[in-house]
Amino acid sequence: MPAQFVHLHLHTQYSLLDGATQIDPLIKQVRTFGMPAVAITDHGNMFGAVEFYQKAKAAGIKPIIGCEAYLAPGSRRNREGHLAHNDYYHLILLASSRTGYQNLIKLVSKAYLEGFYYKPRVDKELLQQHHDGLIALSGCLSGEVPYLIGQKDMEGAIRAAGEYREIFGKDQYYLEVQANGLEQQRVANRGLVEIHKKLGIPLAGTNDCHYLKKEDARPHDVMLCLQTGKTLNDPNRLRFDTDQLYVKSTDEMVAEFAEVPEAVRNTCRIAEHCDLKLAFNTSYLPQYRVPDGYTRESYLEKLATQGLADRLRERPGAMPAATYEARLREELTVIITMGYAGYFLIVWDIINFARSRGIPVGPGRGSAAGSLVAYALRITDIDPLAYQLLFERFLNAERVTMPDIDMDFCMDRRGEVINYVIDKYGEDHVCQIITFGTLGAKAAIRDVGRVMEIPYAEVDRVAKLVPPQLNITLDEALAQEPRLREVTDTDPKIGELMTVARALEGLARHASTHAAGLVISQEPLTDHVPLYKGANDEVVTQYPMGDVEKIGLVKFDLLGLKTLTMINHAVGLINARPAPGAAPGERPQLLDIVRLPLDDPATYTLLASGRTTGIFQLESPGMRNLLLKIKPECFEDLIAILALYRPGPLESGMVDDFIKRKRDPSQIAYDPPALEPILKETYGVIVYQEQVMAVANRLAGFSLGQADLLRRAMGKKKPEDMDKQKALFLQGAKKNHLSEKKAEKLFDLMAYFAGYGFNKCVIGDTALLDAMTGEWTTVRALFDAPHPFTIHALGSDQKLHPRVVVDLVSNGRKPVFEMRTMLGKRVTTTGNHPFLTLNGWRNLEDLRPGDRIAVPRRLTVKKGDVWPRHEVIVLAGLLSEG
């Protein structure tokens, strides 16, 4: 039987800017080598654990979840030292069971929340508390035992090894010999074998893998420069003096450890001992506390019933009250049957808090706009019956998924809402969600060019040859742009840049906090997910949003919207001004943004003129051009414009067809005639996913739940799913007396448009924001006004003052960005604005998260005739830079 080997010390891209291996090619390589298992041991974190676990399982490979922990030499709470070698050690921890996985979560979380000092550190006290179910390896040259061997302190190394064995238990702690080609490692290996013979602690062979293949050593070297802000020619930069840290084959590892074959065998022994099983079909929805005498279900029914009555009293519905009441009962039945009453109550409570504190709340976003229950609870402000929005598009009893309601708040006061949630459920039960920035095509070129010290002008020229296409890869760019391919092939320097950039492209570059996601858990979060500290000390999950949902935690989206902040400010200015012609002391009628009419002719005249600068999603040149062509006359037109302004509809001819039919109704044909009530508002063109569902429902007898499954199948375009759905559609259409030829033609038409169709719920509530914003005037209108209207302009004293518009000048358009510093300072600027950095002046577009910049600060200057020399030097430097 051939020898087997398992890699137990391996870094993926989630060892940020240190590991250069993505999980998909790793699993493929391990499978090619015939290895039965593989471990993930990223530096101080478990970022990739869920992705790794599921992909390895799917490939038939046993996943071993681990971490290379940073270990404080004393207490994790000690903040002394300056990042010297002995400020922390490395230690490999592998979860052998569910208990071990839970303990690993506890350890890496406490490392960030309690032990962070340059690195997230645990200590031996924590190891003693949370060692059950964990297997430990002594680590790389920075591990305590190898480090002491390197310091020629064998007595200390033996003592440390015995201490670890005492903590983890016999056969749960291994001495890690490595095959990385370093002379220091050979010395360490000899010492580790000596300790093995003396104490009987078993050996395990590893390779401290940081990249996939040997040829990836050069791109990895460049990556280390990105991590440290250095260049390749810097003699003092961090570097690994070996090209051996790749995922070696079993034969290579067996040859490396020919003198200690048990080190190879023990890797398989460890893998066999690891038997972690993660569950992905459980939901840990937090329990909302209801008043005495109610269940969550009965309380939701009470709130929704009363809420609908209030809504219909304030603004009569588009249909009889009985229709609304029947729809409400149907929705409540589905929500309660699926067990989501508590979810709706949590969302209602959060929004109710915000409204009670005067915090502006958005009208709703996403498919939740199709829910009458959400409208009745004032979670959304869109009447779904008035706009034919489907509840099944939001929640489908035939497709069990968690509901997903997006909540929008004024950006300036979103923090108050988050604090309310934390206060209500407890800080151990609430946190935000991590997200990862990756190296895109242009960013990879610019970053690698800087590290290679290629002149900025050359790098910029190459980066600008990448076509402006969303998420384009460098391989795609080379295929599409002949000039980029030519300079890559003819200029060796650029050729090397592109080779390295292609190797690093797509790798995770940094971690940040998701703009909206918030997790609320019934149990303490560390029962389920490891925690991380963000740049502003906010607590976030170590798993990204998709993985958080996979393990059963429920996320809530609380987004801060600048548009809401802007609208709120405008409403405040309007309500603070006396009404025209009002008598002195007369109480003005305050503007309520929610009650603005959606059929105001002046609003649509403004939108049809294309004068939409400053209006949410309607201000781009392409959108203004589309507004001029379509000339919206009603809210439904506005919804359609927002759905149509996307690459698919624009490139497919859909938009031209829509415009032609709107201008000339004789071009509209409904075949069969039953399509008219479904497609009338979009002039016979299938624009929305809801229309696809309605066609399947009315013409083929699908339930709306089945129609939602059809919509999803059409969106994914999987042949086996499409064939199954087509057969069901033709069968249903036949029962409704539609010929097979017409039914087949209709199905193909639906499938074609479904590829471009948009969720009407998403667009509808965005349009409501636009209709609100469209009530505003424009700077041009103020300039053209016959009497001196004023606006608030920023004065030289940094305060707002009323000013008359005296002139209007167009200076073209530039994208504007907001940059945030670690201290919370926000800087809004264009991409070519220069900032002073430690490497001189650099434009915003060349900065990356983690770069240091100079920002204005107030300095307190002490009075006196004599200053210390170092203070004079600092002041001179500041003055010379202006």
For position 812, what pLDDT does the model report?
A: 58
Does the pLDDT of residue 795 top 60, yes or no? Answer: no
Q: How far is CA 741 from the centre of its chain?
A: 45
**pLDDT (average), residues 226-237:** 92
pLDDT tens readout for residues 541-554: 999 999 999 999 99
The residue count of the chain comes to 882
Residues 134, 168 contacting (CB under 8 angstroms): yes
Closest CA to 85 of 138, 148, 154: 148
For position 852, what pLDDT does the model report?
A: 79
The pLDDT > 70 percentage for the chain reads: 88
**pLDDT (average), residues 127-136:** 98
Does the pLDDT of residue 365 top 70, yes or no? Answer: yes
Higher pLDDT, 266 or 561: 266
For 277-291, 310-324, 437-451, 611-625, which range has the lowest pLDDT when averaged over its residues?
611-625
Look at strands 37-43 and 840-843 and give their pairing: unpaired
Instruction: Name the pTM for this structure.
Output: 0.79
Does the pLDDT of residue 788 top 60, yes or no? Answer: no
Q: How confident is the model at residue 240 (pLDDT cuts 50, 70, 90)?
A: very high
DSSP codes of every residue in 270-331: HHHH-------S---PPPPP--TT--HHHHHHHHHHHHHHHHHHHS--SS-HHHHHHHHHHH
DSSP state of 428: T
**pLDDT (average), residues 285-296:** 94
Q: How confident is the model at residue 806 (pLDDT cuts 50, 70, 90)?
A: very low
For position 881, what pLDDT does the model report?
A: 47
Residues 416, 359 contacting (CB under 8 angstroms): yes
For position 28, what pLDDT does the model report?
A: 97
Residues 585, 578 contacting (CB under 8 angstroms): no
Does the pLDDT of residue 797 top 90, yes or no? Answer: no
Side chain identity at residue 41, one-letter code: T
Q: How confident is the model at residue 794 (pLDDT cuts 50, 70, 90)?
A: very low
Backbone angles phi, psi at 611, to 5 degrees: -90, 75
Q: Residue 301 corresponds to which tokens in the numbers above? A: 């029914």
The distance between the two most distant Cα atoms of the chain, rounded to a whole number of Å, is: 100
Does the pLDDT of residue 223 top 80, yes or no? Answer: yes
For position 329, what pLDDT does the model report?
A: 97
Q: How confident is the model at residue 775 (pLDDT cuts 50, 70, 90)?
A: very low
Does the pLDDT of residue 693 top 50, yes or no? Answer: yes
Q: How far is 31 from 37, CA to CA, in rounded Å?
A: 9
Q: How confident is the model at residue 521 (pLDDT cuts 50, 70, 90)?
A: very high
- Across all residues in the chain, what is the average pLDDT? 87
Q: How far is 518 from 415, CA to CA, in rounded Å?
A: 12
For position 81, what pLDDT does the model report?
A: 65
**pLDDT (average), residues 140-155:** 96
Residues 130, 526 contacting (CB under 8 angstroms): no
pLDDT tens readout for residues 17-33: 999 999 999 999 999 99
Does the pLDDT of residue 398 top 80, yes or no? Answer: no
**pLDDT (average), residues 714-729:** 83
For position 771, what pLDDT does the model report?
A: 52
Look at strands 173-178 and 134-137 and give their pairing: parallel
The C-alpha angle with vertex 767 and arms to 765 and 768, in degrees rounded to 5, equals 65
**pLDDT (average), residues 696-712:** 86
For position 526, what pLDDT does the model report?
A: 96
Rg of the chain over all Cα atoms, to the nearest angstrom: 31
For position 116, what pLDDT does the model report?
A: 92
Residues 251, 520 contacting (CB under 8 angstroms): no
For 154-158, 400-404, 697-701, 773-777, which range has the lowest pLDDT when averaged over its residues?
773-777
**pLDDT (average), residues 438-450:** 94
Q: Is the four-CA dihedral 521, 527, 532, 533 of positive or negative sign?
A: positive
Q: How confident is the model at residue 581 (pLDDT cuts 50, 70, 90)?
A: low
Q: How far is 61 from 97, CA to CA, in rounded Å?
A: 16
pLDDT tens readout for residues 586-620: 666 778 877 788 888 999 998 999 888 778 788 88
pLDDT tens readout for residues 499-516: 999 999 999 999 999 989
**pLDDT (average), residues 806-822:** 64
**pLDDT (average), residues 683-700:** 87
pLDDT tens readout for residues 846-861: 787 877 787 665 555 5
Domains with residue ranges and CATH for the chain? 23-212+247-273 (3.20.20.140), 296-435+512-563 (no CATH), 439-507 (1.10.10.1600), 647-757 (no CATH), 777-805 (no CATH), 813-882 (2.170.16.10)
